[in-house]
Structure 1
Amino acid sequence: MTVSAATVLSLCAPAASADTVGGVIAWGKQDYGITVPPPNVLSGVSAVSAGSTTVLVLQSGAVFAWGANNWGANVIPADAKSGVGQISSGWGHELALKNGKVIAWGNNWYGQTTLPASVSSGVIAISTSNLHSLALKQGGQVVSWGTRTDVPAAAQSGVTAISAGGDHNLVLKNGGVLAWGNNAYGQATVPAGLSSGVTAISAGFNHSLALKDGRVYAWGRDNYHQTDVPDAALSGVAGIDAGSNHNLAFKTNGDIIAWGSDFVTESEPVTCGPVFAVSAGDNDSFVLKENVNAPC
C-alpha cells in the first residue's frame, strides 16, 4: 500500500458551467467493473455519485447505474427514470430526488431505504453514506434516517447544505459549518475560522472537508494523509468531494487535485482537466469532463 502526495493534472481552460454535460472518466479499484464507465455515460452526463460498490449518473433527468448489483442497487425504479434533479449513492443503497420527493432503493439492512414520511415532499437536497442518509427540507430542516437518526436543534432550521459521512454529518448554516455524530478522530470538531464564509462541505468516512474563499480545509482522521491539504488546494478551488480515505477537488480552471489513500491508484488521475464535477468513492475516483477524448 502506498500513500501519495497530491497529484495535480493541469490544463489552463475555463471551468465548465453548472449546466454543462459531459462524460465520466474513472480510475482506482477494478471491482465490479466500477471504474470502467459504460459507453452510454461517455457523454450527456450532468452529475455523478460514487458509492461503495455502485455508481450513479444523471442524464437528462434519468438515473443510470453500474457496478455491483447487490440488493438491486442497479435496478432503477420507474420513478427515477425521468425528472430527477439530484442523486446520491451509498453502500448498495441509492437515493434520487424528484420534485421534492426522495426515491430510495437497494440495501435496506439498516433502514437506509425505509424513508421517513417527511421526505415525500418539500426536499431540496439529499446525501447518503454507508449506513445513513440525510435530506434537507425547504426552510432548512435536516432529516436523518438509517443508523443515525439524531439531528441537533441547530440543524432544524436555516441549513443550506448537507453531507453525510461514515458516522458523522456536516451541514452549512449561515455560511458556518455544523457537525455532529462520531468524533473519534475529531471529524466532528469544526476548526476555528469555519463559522462563516464557507461555500461547500463534504464528509468522508472519518474525515471532513470544507471550502472557503477557494481554499480547502480538512480535519479528522489522517492515517492516509487525507487531511493534509496540498498546496494546490489552498486557492482557486471550485468543488470538493471526500471519499472513504481520499479526496478530490477541481479548480476554477478545471484542474484536478487528488490526495489521501492510494491503495489502487485512486489518487492518481488518468486524465487532465478541465473537469466540472468530481466524486470520490471507496478507493475509486470519478470526474465529469465535457469531452472525454480531449487530449491533455
Structure 2
Amino acid sequence: GQLGNNTKTNSYVPVRIRDPGSPTDESRGLKAIQVSAGYWHSLALSNDGYAYAWGYDWYGQLGNNTSGSSEYSPFPILVRNPDSPTDESMGLKTIQVSAGNLHSLALDSNGYVYAWGWNSYGQLGDNTNDISEDSHSAFPVRVRDPANPSETNMGLKAIQISAGYDHSMAVGSDG
C-alpha cells in the first residue's frame, strides 16, 4: 500500500496518490507540498498543513494509533495529533515530514520535532530505546530537548529534520 492509490498492486508507471476523503475516486488526488518515502511506508504534507501516511504499519509508523503485522493503509490517512491520539479527526499540523525505515518524523509549525514508529535504537528521540518488538509509539511523541532529555514537557526545536534507516537527525533552531 505504499503507493497510496488504494491498492497493494505494483506499478511501473507513476500513479496518483488518492485523496484521503475519497480513496475510491481515481480522479481525485492528495494535494501535497512535500512527500517522503520510507522503507515500507510513505508520508506527505498536504497543502492544508496536515501530515498523512500510508503503507505498512507494523510498528506504528503511520502515526494513527495502530500497529501490527496485519496493519496497513493503501491510501493516505491522517497522522494523529499527539494531544488527542485516539481522536481520528484530529491531525498533526506540520511544516515538514520525513520517513525512515520503520519510523517517521514531523516538524510542527511551532518548530517542535515529533517522531513515531519503531524505537529500537532511540530513533524517536524520547530518551528511551529497546531492541524488542514492543519498542514503538503508534502516534507522534515530542522529541526531547538534548539539553534536558529527562524533561517530558520540553522538546527539540528545529528548522529541518531527516529520518534515516534506524536513526534521526535535525538541524536545531540555533543552527
With the shorter chain as reference, the TM-score category is: 0.5 to 0.7
Report the aligned-residue RMSD: 3.3
Q: CA deviation at 1:76?
A: 2.8
- Asked if 1:174 corresponds to 2:173, the answer is yes
Is the counterpart of residue 107 in structure 1 residue 99 in structure 2? no
Give 1:105's aligned amino acid: W
Change (3 A) 1:86 1:138: same
Is the Cα contact below 8 Å between 1:139 and 1:157 reproduced in 2?
Answer: no
Distance change in 2, residues 1:75/1:81 (3 Å) = closer
Q: Which has a greater percent of helix?
A: 1
Structure 1, unaligned stretches of length 5 or more?
1-53, 57-62, 177-296
Residue 122 of structure 1: how far off its partner (Å): 2.3
Find out whether 1:134 has 2:83 as its counterpart. no
Distance in 1, matches of 2:168 and 2:174, equals 16
Give the Cα–Cα distance (whole angstroms) in 1 for the partners of residues 116 and 92 of structure 2: 16
Among 87, 93, 99, which residue is 2:35 paired with? 87
Rounded to whole Å, the distance in 2 between the matches of 1:160 and 1:126 is 12
More strand by proportion, 1 or 2?
1
1-structure distance, mates of 2:107, 2:36: 13
Partner SS for 1:78: coil
Instruction: Give the 5 Å matches for 1:129-208.
Output: 129-148=100-119, 149=124, 150=126, 151-154=143-146, 156-176=155-175
Measured after TM superposition, the shift of residue 138 of structure 1 is 1.2
Question: Which amino acid in the other structure matches residue 108 of structure 1?
Answer: D
Rg larger for = 1
Identity %: 36
- Equivalences for residues 1-296 of structure 1 within 5 A: 69=10, 76-79=17-20, 81-98=29-46, 99-115=48-64, 117-118=80-81, 120-148=91-119, 149=124, 150=126, 151-154=143-146, 156-176=155-175
CA distance in 1, matches of 2:41, 2:156: 27
Check conservation: 1:91, 1:107, Cα contact below 8 A.
no
**Off by >3 Å, runs of 4+ in structure 1:** none
Aligned length: 112
Contact 2:17 2:30 in 1 (8 A): no
Shift of residue 152, structure 1, vs aligned partner: 2.2
What is the distance in 2 between the residues matched to 1:85 and 1:152? 27
TM-score for both structures, normalised by structure 1 = 0.33
CA deviation string 1:185-215 (max 9, x = no partner):
xxxxxxxxxxxxxxxxxxxxxxxxxxxxxxx
| Letter of the 2:165 counterpart | G
Unaligned 5+ runs, structure 2: 21-27, 65-78, 83-90, 127-142, 147-153
